[in-house]
Chain A
């Protein structure tokens, strides 16, 4: 998986290739390169740690959008191998940018709902690059209601550039679909855990993000508008993406420091795409821990806790200046 290598990944990948070569060479020639290998391995780890602890917010955004990054279905299939997908909003269509269905996690049924970008060109087209149409959001809500009916918790995975801005989407009420989800998610009586796995693209992500717990993967971002959009509007210059990303404080660490998400979930060194199975495993552990905590709350407490959590968000002054 070396599609779309990012600038700051290049040095690491070069060193990794060298290390591999040295390893195979040592096997072939039966010479002892072990001290060189050890040295290089150490160097590689230092380089990785250095690079990934120093990424700026725009680089972090690029990592969140990495073409090799695991998508919703990659996580879901790893976490619940018996995932059974459900389709359709029962009104217009399916909205394949969003996947939803039941799966079993530690012997309990869970409703998984995720925004899925798609891996190859064909799938990307089918998934509309993870930019949902209204029917996707309506399907998601329908499936949340279904989970609620049977008392099963809901886990939502958010990874979208944003809700799709197109003619059909507007005609079918993109705004209404998002708004409806925001309001109804506030009243659902089963636990909801939302995880930003990649791009948390504004209202298009939040429409599945009203959780009792909101988690962010380490290299994910969450923002009110894309850095490109922000640069175009406020700087009137689309190249000012780095400045825009810095200004918006969109990384998992920023969001956690600002009290807008509850937890940052660690990723394998170098990002989830370097070891998708491990990334899913770490996520699974975080989900399990949060589920166990939330399952102690009654229906009423769950609704109350979720509403109170979002009620507190926002900073302002009240005294006359």
Chain B
């Protein structure tokens, strides 16, 4: 399987996580039904019975969207630095190590370029299995570089967000990544290049309040929690129960903050058909057949 040209970690390892046991069957988080693991994976981790979209590792997400054999990973070796020597109940440096071991990724994001149905794209996909997809300096830097590469190569930017928000263990360094990534998007806009923001469950906090909400087009997966403040924080503040469906994809469409909800198996086709209209400043599309 030499599908990723710059892959460092064998795909099998990262596929093992995300709450999916290695057994033959596993339980759907939506309906609780037992599903056959191989079939579940083949169906991009969407339950065939209830349609629940389960969390997907970054590399699977890239596999879903990028034409086979065209992905080239960037900044694969970038790692977090424990600038603040942060220690809560556990040292941050230890948390990094165990997250790397568990997820098979260096940090909470995988980035690179490739073709999407022949269109040149720079893609960044979150790895929720790495400390809840939290954004520290590595995530911020890799996203910023993804956007900058798109400007240089005249590509589209696709960011698949799946994150609890800013990473507390890097303090205000994490906070400033919001400003850094958003400023890079201003440059992308000046270059007239498209940015499609895909929101997977969950997208929260500082990630929502920066690049995730800045897409030219914002696509959400069905039933994803998309919020600034999480439901628990709001309930504690206002001391009342939140209505059913609050902050879910459908709610965001209703309130005008998401363009479309797209099921996972239709995601690639939807992005491709949008890029057909948004690629006037983009480099030429290669024929997907030749890819």
Contacts and interface: CB of A to CB of B under 8 A. Distances in A.
B88 A234 contact: yes
A179 B226 CA distance: 14
A183 interface: yes
B21 to A, nearest CB: 26
Interface stretch (B51-59, B64-72, B76-84, B114-122): B76-84
A187 B234 CA distance: 32
Contact of B78 (A170, A247, A318): A318
Interface string A139-175: 0000000000000000000000001011101111111
A283 interface: no
A175 B209 contact: yes
B124 to A, nearest CB: 15
A165 B228 contact: yes
Contacts of A311: 144, 180, 183-184
A173 B213 contact: yes
B180 to A, nearest CB: 5
A247 B87 contact: yes
A20 B80 CA distance: 55
Contact of A163 (B89, B179, B228, B255): B228
B84 A247 contact: yes
Interface in A162-198: 163, 165-167, 169-176, 178-180, 182-184, 186-187
Contact of B172 (A179, A247, A250): A250
Interface stretch (A70-78, A105-113, A218-226, A272-280): A218-226
A315 B167 CA distance: 13
On chain A, which size bracket covers the interface?
35 or more
A182 B137 CA distance: 17
Interface stretch (A5-13, A22-30, A39-47, A202-210): A202-210
A175 B163 CA distance: 14
Nearest to B82: A315
A234 B212 contact: no
Contact of B206 (A224, A230, A234, A314): A224
Contact of A182 (B80, B89, B172, B182): B182
Contacts of B86: 247-248
Contact of A174 (B185, B209, B256): B209
A315 B237 CA distance: 34
B247 interface: yes
Contacts of B185: 183
Contacts of A172: 255
B78 A316 contact: yes
Contact of A224 (B79, B175, B184): B175
Contacts of A260: 172-173, 176
The interface centre, meaning the residue of B173, B182, B227 with most chain A CB atoms within 10 A of its CB, is B182
Contacts of A207: 209
A258 interface: yes
Contact of A183 (B87, B88, B186): B186
A68 interface: no
B3 interface: no
Contacts of A236: 89
B229 interface: yes
B228 A315 contact: no
Nearest to B173: A314
B175 to A, nearest CB: 4
Contacts of B137: 313-316
Contacts of A79: none
Given A179-B214, A235-B88, A310-B176, A317 B206 contact: no
A182 B178 contact: yes
Contact of A186 (B75, B182, B237, B255): B182
A186 B173 contact: no
B234 A170 contact: yes
Contact of A258 (B81, B83, B144): B83
A223 B83 contact: no
Contact of B175 (A176, A206, A321): A206
A260 B174 CA distance: 11
Contacts of A182: 178-179, 182-183, 209-210
Interface in B29-70: none
Given A167-B238, A171-B255, A318 B77 contact: yes
A107 B17 CA distance: 63
Among B78, B176, B211, B238: residue with most chain A CB under 10 A: B176
A33 to B, nearest CB: 49
- What are the nearest 10 A-B pairs in CB distance? A165-B229, A314-B137, A186-B183, A182-B182, A234-B88, A175-B228, A175-B208, A313-B176, A178-B209, A179-B213
17 contacts: A165-B233, A175-B209, A179-B210, A179-B214, A202-B166, A202-B206, A203-B175, A222-B175, A243-B88, A248-B168, A248-B172, A250-B172, A306-B183, A314-B138, A314-B177, A317-B81, A318-B78
Interface of B: 75, 77-81, 83-84, 86-89, 136-138, 140-141, 144, 166-180, 182-187, 189, 205-206, 208-214, 227-229, 233-234, 237-238, 242, 246-247, 255-257
Given A170-B247, A203-B210, A224-B168, 6 more contacts: A166-B238, A170-B229, A175-B228, A234-B88, A255-B172, A315-B83
